[in-house]
Structure 1
Amino acid sequence: MKLRLLLALIAPLMLTGCLLSPGKFTSQLALMKDGSFSYSYNGEIQLLALSKLAEMSAKEGEKFEAQDCYDDEFEVRECTEAEVAEQKAEWDANAETRQAKKREEAEQMKLMLGGIDPSSPEAAEEFAAHLQRQKGWNKVSHRGDGLFDVDFAITGTLSHDFAFPMIEKMPMGASFVTAILRNDGKVRIDATGFAAQGAGNPWQGMMSGAMGMANLKSSDGDEDKMPNLVMPEGTFTIVTDGSILANNTDEGPEANPSGMQVLTWNVTPRTEAAPTALIDLSR
């Protein structure tokens, strides 16, 4: 039962852009008044579409399972043979509709993965190669179950907005960190992907619920079938020589030996508020 609930919860996530989740990581964003910036992410990223959960979701409904029956008091009771037979007949009658829906969802998923077929045995390697042809992705290696070890680092001039990860042909809803540049020289940083509970991100909240359910021991014998889903756990740091106008760290900014201001967030599976800051680089 728990497994079926998990599959029902995660299915819409994989079809609405919430395909990626950070696992254990270390990440840093440096913003300087001269316009230069650097960003790094070292750690785990899970692609749900290549996880065991996605495989299980694709197979869900292939085998008939009788649904609960209820008495006049709306209490669950044992179904009669006639009721089970009626359910089975309806299930058989809807077979073509179910298959058509699965084919449609498979095509949608392929489009969201930039043309990669998640059911292909080479999908993980294709995805890693897809990333490594983009600037900054120094290492992308698949550990199994849709979990990748990633080493990303990039430098440049912040003359436009920045988001990570930005993956060719994939939806922007997958971003962990965004830096939005305003006309007055202020930069707004939001790291919604680094909040497991996602108070400001309902999809991340659903992801957290799904992952929590997946990692619970089941009392109905499903524990061996449960997929391994990661949750955000690590450190996000902002380094700047600009003026920090707002932030939601516990300790506020601290000066490093170079005289830069440093903001640090320790992210755990219990983190509710996504890291956020407003920095003025014009003064």
Structure 2
Amino acid sequence: MMIVPIKLRAIALAAASSIALSGCLLSPGSFTSELHMMKDGTFSFSYDGEIQMLALSQLAAMGNKGDNTFEAECWDDDFEERDCTTEEIEQQRAEWDASADEREAQNHREVEQAKAMFGGIDPSDPEAAQELADRLSRQRGWDQVIYKGDGLFDVDFSISGQMTYDFVFPVVEKLPVANSFVTVVMREGNQVRVDAPGFANAGGSNPMHGRMGGVAGMMQMMMEDEGGEMPEVALPDGTFTIITDGRILANNTDEGPQAVARGQALSWEVTPRSEQAPTALISFD
């Protein structure tokens, strides 16, 4: 039995597409985040800590390993790898050479598809992470974006304004598939709904992280097959706090509202054991 090797660039791009389509491209690591909302209409939001683009650097390593190297692979009837005969090697090499144009065209299509989902960034490019860091640094509010390796970024984000529009964090320019850590939605009747879907763990009820775990598992199996190692995956570990002088109508904190100098505070400890995404409904009547 003969099997023509599957090239890692195609696998890497397929993995990138799976991550993008799952809606779980970004994940928090260690962080501190605060949202201030006041009756005078002002708000401010900050996020200081880590954000990981899942296995970005490993996708680059996978995508640039062995793309143009022929390697014969043969298997016995029990699907155990065995040495190829001279005839089998020659046949596989002939098939490999004959499909060169087709491989190149397929790689080009896959790269373009991945770039479309990643805002023009090729996720298998070793420079993709730095390109993303440079892009974020140009956006308002991103005061610091440092790439630490393994798809992990150390960021300092802060922004302030008036509560006259909805707010989502993070927003990455030209990246249509980025998932939300925090959303702030203005409602009729001077009410504001806050949700933090990005601050729930992989084992809880948040389907975003459940899909992320599945994609990470798929990538781990692929790396093990190729003798590689998965990068370190950042686990959520931080605090999300809402400070407001509005009337808190609903929330899912453990302790409930706590009195602070500017009004009340709602605080959530975000860990790998957190099962519910933080949520609150606040009125400014």
Please name the residue that 1:273 is paired with. Answer: 276
CA contact (8 A) 1:43 1:150 kept: yes
Distance 1:9 1:112 in 2: 12
Q: Does 1:241 align with 2:252?
A: no
- DSSP 3-state at the match of 1:51: helix
- DSSP 3-state at the match of 2:135: helix
CA RMSD of aligned residues (A): 3.7
The residue identity in structure 1 corresponding to 2:231 is P
**Offset from partner CA, 1:209-265 (integer Å, 9 cap, x none):** 45578799x99995x622222222211111111111111111111112x15211111
CA contact (8 A) 1:9 1:210 kept: no
Please name the residue that 1:32 is paired with. Answer: 38
Please name the residue that 1:177 is paired with. Answer: 182
Q: Does 1:150 align with 2:162?
A: no
Distance 1:117 1:220 in 2: 23
Distance 1:135 1:152 in 2: 9
Alpha-carbon spacing, 1:148–1:173, altered in 2? closer, same or farther (3 Å): closer
Q: Does 1:52 align with 2:58?
A: yes
Distance 2:273 2:217 in 1: 11
Alpha-carbon spacing, 1:13–1:42, altered in 2? closer, same or farther (3 Å): farther
Alpha-carbon spacing, 1:103–1:213, altered in 2? closer, same or farther (3 Å): closer
Q: Does 1:133 align with 2:141?
A: no
- DSSP 3-state at the match of 1:225: coil
**Offset from partner CA, 1:260-281 (integer Å, 9 cap, x none):** 2111111112222111111112
The residue identity in structure 2 corresponding to 1:226 is M
Aligned length: 269
Q: How much has 1:15 moved relative to structure 2?
A: 3.3
Segment of structure 1 superposing worse, 115-124 or 258-267: 115-124
Distance 1:230 1:57 in 2: 22
Please name the residue that 1:197 is paired with. Answer: 202
TM-score by length of structure 2 reads: 0.76
- DSSP 3-state at the match of 1:55: helix
Segment of structure 1 superposing worse, 26-35 or 148-157: 26-35
TM-score by length of structure 1 reads: 0.77
Distance 2:134 2:13 in 1: 31
Distance 1:259 1:204 in 2: 34
CA contact (8 A) 1:197 1:205 kept: yes
CA contact (8 A) 2:143 2:156 kept: yes
Distance 2:265 2:74 in 1: 56
Distance 2:20 2:219 in 1: 19
Q: How much has 1:61 moved relative to structure 2?
A: 8.5
Q: How much has 1:153 moved relative to structure 2?
A: 0.4
- DSSP 3-state at the match of 1:174: coil
Distance 1:121 1:173 in 2: 20
Alpha-carbon spacing, 1:94–1:149, altered in 2? closer, same or farther (3 Å): same
Q: Return 5+ residue gaps in structure 1 as ranges.
A: none
Identical residues among aligned pairs (%): 51
CA contact (8 A) 1:33 1:281 kept: yes
Segment of structure 1 superposing worse, 59-68 or 193-202: 59-68
Q: Return 5+ residue gaps in structure 2 as ranges.
A: 1-7
Please name the residue that 2:193 is paired with. Answer: 188
Segment of structure 1 superposing worse, 37-46 or 115-124: 115-124
The residue identity in structure 2 corresponding to 1:185 is N
Distance 1:219 1:52 in 2: 12
CA contact (8 A) 1:246 1:279 kept: yes
